[in-house]
Amino acid sequence: MTTAATAPSQPADQQLQAPAQKTMGEVLAKRGIDEFQWNTLKNSLFPGAKTESVLMVIDYCRARKLDPMKKPCHIVPMKVKDQKTGEYDWRDVVMPGIYEYRTTAMRTGNYLGHSKPEYGAVVTVFGVEAPEWCEMTMYRRATNGARIEFPVRVYFCESCNTKFDKESKTDVANDRWSKAPIQMLTKVTEAAGLREAFPDEFGGEATAEEMEGRGGDVVDAQVVPAIQVPQRRTEPAVDTAAAATTAPEPVKEEPKADPVTAVLTITKGERVESSKTRGKTDEQVKGLGVNRVFFFLITDSTGRVSSTWSEAMYLTCGKLADEKTPVEIIAESVQGQQWPKLVEVSAVKS
């Protein structure tokens, strides 16, 4: 018979004490959430979601001064690659919904609404009959009280989220985009327009509606230690992962460059075809089930090139270039994009 070895006894003051585990009630109390609110969040608004993911929603809403009971954001599962191990893992990511975009825009006091959506001809893309594009114009109040227009056009072929169909061995629209193609295209267009009009408020983060169904998207992420932000003395620090040991690690994000403003003249405009169809014959494009889509490059007198998907902005730039009018150009660097994004172009009064 073997006898299990026992560890030598240690003085009481030298023994390691296990840290006290916080109860769920304590975790929720720190966030100002009562039992009834928690049950609604966990069982009605986000049914089936992990406890730590629902806690992330509460923390996200608290940071952005939103009411989690109105469901301004969504929990989106995404596949993430750990750069250290090279392994892929599913992770819940909190993403804003179109409701949050509308709320945040209205809070600025400068959002003046948008035009009625306009739609292109009905085409068949990824097995779905849908408008070729949706277009609307966002209106924002300038500092001088004038109304600024931000027209956007979003193409169905570039926005539709797809899945691979094993029978046809082609990409087809996923369930949500198949059931409500016009509704989804309209929401995506509205989100794109609000980002154009309010870049400081929304940055480059996509909405859950834009990412819906892209559960297989791969995000290269490097896991970094969490940064503890000092709290006021009257407000206890929030322990985000107290309720679970498997809470998602924070993802390191590269800083976004500030918009660049300068008084220049426009020297050149160029219409460029999207890389999806560039260099392909009409027959090859037809086989892909998509349409040719173009974006525009604007060169200023310093040689800097900015890009835009707005044909209206491109035509405005062309007119200003022909007239050799001095202009104020606001362009914003976007992570992963070759050219800065053209945010605004306006003539400078002499």
243: CB partners within 8 A, 6+ apart: 22, 24, 27, 51, 52, 55
pLDDT in tens, 133-183: 999 999 999 888 899 999 999 999 888 888 888 888 888 888 888 999 999
* Residue 133: Cβ within 10 Å count: 21
* Residue 95: Cβ within 10 Å count: 20
pLDDT in tens, 293-326: 777 888 887 777 888 877 777 788 888 888 888 8
pLDDT in tens, 13-34: 444 444 445 688 888 888 889 9
What distance in Å separates the CA atoms of residue 284 and residue 248, rounded to the nearest whole number?
Answer: 42
Map out the domains of the chain with their CATH numbers: 19-95+214-253 (no CATH), 98-206 (no CATH), 254-350 (2.40.50)
* Contact status, residue 58 vs residue 41, Cβ threshold 8 Å: yes
Structure confidence at residue 176 (pLDDT)? 85
